[in-house]
């Protein structure tokens, strides 16, 4: 089941007398499966926040349709099953953490007799129990993020939107938040995650989508996006000498360190021929694996390529 369905959505912000129209999203189609963590990536101005606002009903698409939890986004009742942590959120500084969560429970219509127990459980989940009775004005940025995550879970949502959930959180705190997200996923929750910390997204996301200038330029699992096609890393039992490396000049072996070399082949047949040639020289192969790039390297490469294509298009049609 798809918890989020976005079909051919375009969002155009009308300009003023001296400002042009802005196309924040263009013909975007996207699906998010139930019980997964979906990472949304893109540079500033890519349209990420606009998409989240459309899905939450904060703003409206110009054309196209979208559904969450099987309901059209115009159905306000479905929002009761949604949790949201916005970026740069602000909470009343005069409230304590406990008071903020009680207030949030009242806003969501989930205020019950056992609300105190539920609030204690949420504060414990985000490692904020001892700060529950402390006023928010004394919280650090990391503590604010933890409290923000707790308020997003007050109504026990099926779908959770998180905009920069680890912003300002120290490395240990980020690890704890990752564990929380994975625990929520194990309970069948669906998490829509927007973050500039690509290393964090890479560690928890099942699938990611990359936006640039309002358009979807790539989507897939982290493994699909970070595995370099046709490039393999071969590790030997021993370091190759220059003569041995030169013996494979047709394959252009490139040192990767620690008795390993990368090689680009055009197809599996050529890879198998390389393996046969290595064996003929009585060289022992320890492992052969597809070479992977980090999500950050892949992201930068795709954005640069996308910007280059856009520039070429405008030069030819400007």
Which of 130, 163, 170, 135 is CA-nearest to residue 148?
163
**Please, are residues 109 and 80 in contact by the beta-carbon 8 Å criterion?**
yes
Tokens of 297: 């390297």
d(CA 165, CA 178): 10
Per-residue pLDDT 10s for the chain (318 aa) are 899 999 999 999 987 777 788 999 999 999 999 999 999 998 888 899 999 999 999 999 999 999 999 999 999 899 999 999 998 889 999 999 999 999 999 888 877 778 888 999 999 999 999 999 999 999 998 899 999 999 999 999 999 999 988 888 888 888 988 999 999 999 999 999 998 788 888 889 999 999 998 999 989 998 888 776 678 889 999 888 888 888 888 887 888 888 888 888 878 888 898 899 898 889 999 998 887 777 877 788 778 877 776 655 444 555
> What would the 3-class secondary structure string for the chain be?
CEEEEEEEEEEEECCCCCCCCEEEEEEEEEEEECCCEEEEECCCCCCHHHHHHHHHCCCCCCEEEEEECCEECCCHHHHHHEEEECCCCCCCCCCEHHHHHHHHHHHHCCCCCCHHHHHHHHHHHCCCHHHCCCEHHHCCHHHHHHHHHHHHCCCCCCEEEEECCCCCCCHHHHHHHHHHHHHHHHCCCEEEEECCCHHHHHHHCCEEEEEECCEEEEEEEHHHHHEEEEEEEEEECCCCCHHHHHCCCCCCCEEEECCEEEEECCCHHHHHHHHHHHHHCCCCEEEEEEEECCHHHHHHHHHHHHHHHHHHHHHHHC
Query: Residue 314 has what pLDDT?
Result: 45
Q: What is the pLDDT of residue 251?
A: 81
Give dist(CA 253, CA 255) in Å, integer.
Answer: 7
Report which of 197, 192, 184 is spatially closest to residue 208, judged by C-alpha positions. Answer: 192
Spatial strand order in the sheet of 63-68? 22-33, 2-13, 63-68, 71-72
Closest CA to 183 of 118, 124, 226: 124
CA distance readout (Å), 206 to 85, 111, 167, 191: 20, 33, 21, 10
Query: What is the predicted pLDDT for the residue at 146?
Result: 92
- In the numeric block, the tokens 């982290």 are attached to 222
Query: What is the bridge-based pairing of β-strands 63-68 and 2-13?
Result: antiparallel
End-to-end CA distance of the chain: 43
d(CA 35, CA 31): 13
Largest CA distance in the chain: 78
pTM: 0.79
Give per-residue burial for 21-37: e unless 16+ CB within 10 Å, then b. eebbbbebebebeebeb
Q: How far apart are CA 35 and CA 191, in angstroms?
A: 8
Torsion of CA 174, 177, 182, 188, to 10 degrees: -150
């Amino acid at each position: 089941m798809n918890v989020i369905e976005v079909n051919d959505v375009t969002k155009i912000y009308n300009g003023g007398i001296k400002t042009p129209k802005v196309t924040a999203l263009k013909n975007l189609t996207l699906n998010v499966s139930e019980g997964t963590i979906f990472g949304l990536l893109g540079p500033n101005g890519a349209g990420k926040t606009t998409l989240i606002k459309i899905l939450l009903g904060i703003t409206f698409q110009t054309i196209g349709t979208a559904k969450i939890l099987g309901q059209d986004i115009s159905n306000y009742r479905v929002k009761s099953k949604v949790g949201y942590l916005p970026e740069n959120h602000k909470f009343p500084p005069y409230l304590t953490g406990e008071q903020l969560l009680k207030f949030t429970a009242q806003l969501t219509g989930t205020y019950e007799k056992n609300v105190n127990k539920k609030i204690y459980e949420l504060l414990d989940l985000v490692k904020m129990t001892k700060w529950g009775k402390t006023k928010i004005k004394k919280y650090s940025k990391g503590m604010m993020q933890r409290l923000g995550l707790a308020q997003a879970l007050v109504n026990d949502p099926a779908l959770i939107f998180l905009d920069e959930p680890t912003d300002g959180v120290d490395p240990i705190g980020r690890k704890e938040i990752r564990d929380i997200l994975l625990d929520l996923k194990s309970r069948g929750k669906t998490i829509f995650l927007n973050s500039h910390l690509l290393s964090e997204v890479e560690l928890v996301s099942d699938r990611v989508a990359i936006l640039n200038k309002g358009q979807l330029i790539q989507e897939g699992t982290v493994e699909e996006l970070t595995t370099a096609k046709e490039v393999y890393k071969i590790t030997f039992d021993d370091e190759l000498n220059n003569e041995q490396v030169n013996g494979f000049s047709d394959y252009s072996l490139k040192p990767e360190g620690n008795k390993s070399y990368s090689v680009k082949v055009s197809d599996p047949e050529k890879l198998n021929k390389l393996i046969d040639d290595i064996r003929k020289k009585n060289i022992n192969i320890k492992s052969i694996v597809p070479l992977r790039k980090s999500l950050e390297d892949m992201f930068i490469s795709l954005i640069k390529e996308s910007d280059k294509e856009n520039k070429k298009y405008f030069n030819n049609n400007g």
